[in-house]
Amino acid sequence: MKLITKHITVTGNENVPSVSIAADNSATVTFTYSDESGQHHSVVSIPADPAILGERYDHAAYEMVMSSPDDPTDTTFTVENVFKKTLPTKTRYNSMARPAGSMGFLVVPFKDSTPDEWMLVINTKSYEVANGQDVIVVGTVTDDNMATFTHDADEHGTCLKAISLLPNIHLTLNDGVVAVQLQDENGTSISRAGVEIFVETTSGSLSASRIYTDENGAGACNLTGQTTGKVKVGFKYWTGKNEVMF
């Protein structure tokens, strides 16, 4: 599991959690809170189990929300695919509403991705990762620069970094053949079979509205009868990944 975080070192940042990722890709998130009896720790365990995601999709981001945000003794949480709501894919990140008790995100490239491919997005005051795990620190918030960050933009800016690491689709249209190739953020081809790519056109007829990639992460369908318009390709809950005009 890759950790993508904004490091919060602001004085008095007890409400910012600490994160630890184990060798088996499970994660532990520790919150510190105080009451009349003193300072305590609330520990949330995120298992390396795809079952916690529920129904799975390609190109997905799952928000983790504490079941009882006002009760630090309740460490259960729910998981919901953010893109399924549609709104987050069509609005600026700093205007998105966040539910109370939002803990962070699990960003998952493909519906059959194993936990070692997941990305845990959570802002932290400290973190530990097992050998071989990756950490991307999007930025560090200190006492000196904290005024430049808003709470909302800070969290979603971190999530946007993870979204940029999700798979892209290279698209070409030549002689009526719509061809796609999965790529990573660097434009390198991804070999992944069975990924469902949604295809739309504003003119003409497609031989298929879905393309399923082969073992090389590629696929194609035919477009006939087109005049002027565009072809758009994407994933089920992120349909506008790429487009080409004709």
For 228, residues 6+ apart whose C-beta sits below 8 A from its C-beta are 203, 246
The 8-class DSSP code of residue 124 comes to B
Residue predicted with more confidence, 234 or 82? 234
pLDDT score at 146? 73
All domains in the chain, ordered by first residue: 2-164 (no CATH), 168-245 (2.60.40.10)
Q: How far apart are CA 215 and CA 191, in angstroms?
A: 6
Q: What is the pLDDT of residue 149?
A: 65
* Residue with token string 């499970």: 26
Q: List pLDDT tens digits, range 186-219.
A: 999 999 999 999 999 999 999 999 999 999 999 9
Give the model's pLDDT for residue 153: 46
One-letter amino acid of 190:
I
Predicted confidence at residue 199, as pLDDT, reads: 97
Question: Cα(209)–Cα(38) distance, rounded to whole angstroms?
Answer: 59
